[in-house]
Amino acid sequence: MPILSPRSWPVAIKLSLTITVFVASVGFMIGAVMVVQDSTRFHDALGEKALLLSESVAITAPRAMLRKDYWSLYQSLKNIAARRTGTGGSHEIITAMILDAEGLIQAHLQPAGNPLGLIFSPTGKLEQELLRLAMSARKPIVLSRGGFSETGFVEGVVPLFSDQKYMGVARVRLSVVLLYQKAKNSALIVLLLVFFFVIIGSALGTIVSRRIVKPLTAITQGLEAVGRGEMTDFAPVPVGDRDEIGRLSFTFNQIMSELAEKKMLEEEIAMSEKLVALGRITAGVAHEVNNPLAGLLNCIDTLQKHPNDQKLIDRYLPVIDQGLHRIKDIVHALLVGLKIEESDENVSIEHIDKLQDLITAEIGDRDIEVIWNNRADKGLNIPGKLEQIVFNLLKNALEILPDSGRIIFNMYQKGEFLVIEVSDSGPGIPSSIRNQLFDPFFTTKPNGTGLGLWVVYRLVQSMRGIIEIESEKDQGSTFHVSVPVIRAKVA
């Protein structure tokens, strides 16, 4: 009996064979893509976990390093190691450490072999290169070596900063052994699925194809949602039977759950940063309100001592009124947010001269001379923020001086700019800290908050001005501020 040609085969056989070939081709293709994607995704997810663990350590590490609380640093490393070990996750912590800017060990998960306070000096070119990359990092990075092997690892590196000052680095290294095994299991599952599809394709035909396409479509949509960062909008893939498709759906749902957990942790970290910002605002309010408040208290104290002196009353009541309004403006401005908002308010330049009485009242009985030279056009219209700049610079000069000395204030016009110079006869500013003067919360005063000059810098920047410092040891200091002026006169 002659063999029938394929054209004469029954439709059921042709459909079954067509589905089988199609399913086999698509299955092998999807299997290969999924294996590659799974391997890449697993590796990236592990890197993100390593980075997240390092960031969790880096949140509290700078503060503990400033306090030299090495036990807290070590406990933070032990906590993440214990927590991840107890959850039975898809990774194992090989080591973790915190190094300062000089490479000294501040904390290490294996303290016996890495004593506190010594330079971390790993052996081998690979480890030395990793150390160099970690210490040179100024933003969070992920380092990986060994690929998918029993000796491979992924390391999260997060630089530590305190008030924009580099303090060191936190390193957390995770093993890829479990990841390697997971990738192999995933590849095996994919191969089994493909084989299963080929075997039953001719028998189940369209029913099997629909059964396969439906979960794969959901998984594809889920992968696209991950690519767009829309994990929260993704509905879990229904897990039906406990076959290969069900196992694949279960594994995929687990991955999506871990990604959602990571996103939640990121939101918690963002909330923590907002709380830190709120703390800075509170400190700023306390600092900035205290500046005019001291002068007001001196005015009130003087009036209490001379209650019947009409000249003092006429002199200090306007100063008190101005100071109280200044406190109101400062509180309002600082509570708006960390960012100093742009303001179009303009005032008469005579407002600057009123600061002379306020700073004189704050000097009190101290033997400090104030030389006031305002050579600017008296009818000039200036930004209202200039008052805060001048007062902060005068206050800073007053705090630098001992019980006696001299403060010189000069203001004049130079082309399109208004120039302000505040000089003092104090001890000068060491060159080693000159670049840090405008950093927020940097201060050399025992009770200072380090916000005065930072506010000056932010205000000058918001006005597109320039601020410079001239200082010599035992020769005093001079702050130069140049800001654009408005030629229009105040009505």
Q: What is the CA radius of gyration of the chain?
A: 34
| 13-32 residues labelled b (16+ CB within 10 A) or e (exposed) | eeebeebbeebbebbbebbe
- Give the pLDDT score at 151: 75
Higher-confidence residue of 224 and 103: namely: 103
Task: Return left, alpha or beta for 278; rule: phi > 0 is left, psi -120 to 50 is alpha, else beta.
Answer: alpha
Residue 21 near residue 198, CB atoms below 8 Å: no
With bands split at pLDDT 50, 70 and 90, how would you rate the model's confidence at 488?
Answer: very low
Mean pLDDT within 9-13: 44
Mean pLDDT within 81-88: 58
For every residue of 55-105, DSSP letters joined together read: HHHHHHHHHHHHTT-HHHHHHHHHHHHHHHHHTT-S-EEEEEEEEETTSBE
Interhelix angle 206-228/11-66, nearest 10 degrees: 20
Tokens 């000395």, located at residue: 405
With bands split at pLDDT 50, 70 and 90, how would you rate the model's confidence at 168?
Answer: very high
Q: Is 267 exposed, middle or buried (0-12, 13-18, 19+ CB in 10 A)?
A: exposed
Task: Give the integer Cα–Cα distance in Å for 194 and 244.
Answer: 10
- Find the range with the poorest average confidence among 147-161, 206-220, 342-356, 418-432: 206-220
Per CATH, domain 340-489 is 3.30.930.10: no
- Give the pLDDT score at 406: 92
Q: Please, what is the average pLDDT of the chain?
A: 77
- Give the pLDDT score at 87: 43
Higher-confidence residue of 386 and 281: namely: 386
Give the pair of three-digit tokens for residue 164: 């924009």
Task: Give the integer Cα–Cα distance in Å for 402 and 33.
Answer: 74
What is each CA distance from 222 to 33, 38, 45, in whole angstroms? 15, 13, 16
Alpha-helix residue ranges (DSSP H) falling in 157-309: 177-204, 206-228, 244-305
- Give the pLDDT score at 336: 40
User: Which has the closest alpha carbon to 103: 169, 49, 40?
Assistant: 169
- Give the pLDDT score at 434: 80
For every residue of 325-350, DSSP letters joined together read: HHHHHHHHHHHH-SSPPP---EEETH
- Give the pLDDT score at 274: 55
**CATH 3.30.565.10 domain position(s) in the chain:** 340-489
**pTM of this prediction exceeds 0.85:** no
- Give the pLDDT score at 424: 92
Give the pair of three-digit tokens for residue 146: 């060994």
The strand pair at 477-484 and 466-471 is best described as: antiparallel
Q: How many CB atoms lie within 10 A of CB 391?
A: 23
Q: Over 70: is that where the pLDDT of 214 sits? A: no
Question: What fold, for 10-204?
Answer: Beta-Lactamase (3.30.450)
The rounded percent of the chain whose pLDDT value lies above 90 is 12
Cβ-Cβ contacts under 8 Å for 93 (sequence gap 6 or more): 53, 80, 81, 84, 85, 109, 172, 173, 174, 175
Q: Over 60: is that where the pLDDT of 297 sits? A: yes
With bands split at pLDDT 50, 70 and 90, how would you rate the model's confidence at 340?
Answer: very low
With bands split at pLDDT 50, 70 and 90, how would you rate the model's confidence at 338?
Answer: very low
pLDDT digits (tens, 9 = 90+) for 383-393: 878 888 898 89
Decide: helix, strand or coil at residue 166: strand
- Give the pLDDT score at 422: 94
Cβ-Cβ contacts under 8 Å for 184 (sequence gap 6 or more): none
Task: Give the integer Cα–Cα distance in Å for 349 and 490.
Answer: 9
* Highest mean pLDDT: which range of 21-25, 185-189, 445-449: 185-189
- Give the pLDDT score at 234: 59
Q: Over 50: is that where the pLDDT of 9 sits? A: no
Task: Give the integer Cα–Cα distance in Å for 130 and 114.
Answer: 17
Higher-confidence residue of 193 and 486: namely: 193
Task: Give the integer Cα–Cα distance in Å for 180 and 150.
Answer: 8
Q: Over 50: is that where the pLDDT of 127 sits? A: yes
